Structure 1
Amino acid sequence: MDIEQQVKKIVKKHKTICPFELTDYLNIHVRYYDLPANVFGLYKRVNKQSFIVLNQDHSYTIQRFTCAHELGHHFLHRALGYFFIEEHTLFHPGKFEREANRFAERLLTYRAEMIEGETIEQFYARHGIPKEIIGKI
Structure 2
Amino acid sequence: MNWIKSEVEVLINKQKTCDPFELAERKHIHIIEWDLHHEIKGFYKYDRKNKYIVINSKLSHLEKRFTCTHELGHSELHPRVNTPFLREKTLFSSERIEVEANMFAVSFLLNRCHFSEYTDIKHVCMEYGIPIELSDMVKNLIDK
Q: TM > 0.5 between the two?
A: yes
Distance across 2 between alignment mates of 1:77 and 1:68: 13
Aligned to 2:33: 32
Aligned to 2:53: 52
Q: Is the 8 A contact 1:17 1:108 kept in 2?
A: yes
- For 2:55, what is the secondary structure of its paired residue? strand
Distance across 2 between alignment mates of 1:64 and 1:117: 20
| Residues 68-116 of structure 1 deviation map (CA, whole Å, 9 limit, x = unaligned) | 0000000111122336xxxxxxxx8722111101100100000312126
Distance across 2 between alignment mates of 1:110 and 1:62: 18
Point out where structure 1 has 5 or more consecutive residues left out of the alignment.
84-91
Aligned CA distance change for structure 1 residues 119 and 28 (closer, same or farther; 3 Å): same
- Matches for 1:2-81 after TM superposition, within 5 Å: 2-81=3-82
Superposed structure 1 runs of 4+ greater than 3 Å apart = none
Aligned CA distance change for structure 1 residues 115 and 49 (closer, same or farther; 3 Å): same
What count of residue pairs does the alignment treat as equivalent?
Answer: 129
Aligned CA distance change for structure 1 residues 121 and 74 (closer, same or farther; 3 Å): same
Query: TM-score if structure 2 supplies the norm length?
Result: 0.81
Percentage identity across paired residues of the two chains: 36
Q: Which moved more, 1:48-57 or 1:106-115?
A: 106-115
Query: TM-score if structure 1 supplies the norm length?
Result: 0.85
Point out where structure 2 has 5 or more consecutive residues left out of the alignment.
85-92, 139-144
Letter in 2 for 1:67: C
Distance across 2 between alignment mates of 1:113 and 1:126: 12
Q: Is the 8 A contact 2:33 2:55 kept in 1?
A: yes
Q: Residue 135 of structure 1: CA displacement?
A: 4.3
Q: Residue 35 of structure 1: CA displacement?
A: 0.8
- Aligned CA-pair RMSD: 2.0
Distance across 2 between alignment mates of 1:117 and 1:62: 20
Distance across 2 between alignment mates of 1:32 and 1:117: 32
Aligned to 1:129: 130
Letter in 1 for 2:79: R
Relative to total residues, which structure has the larger helix share, 1 or 2?
2
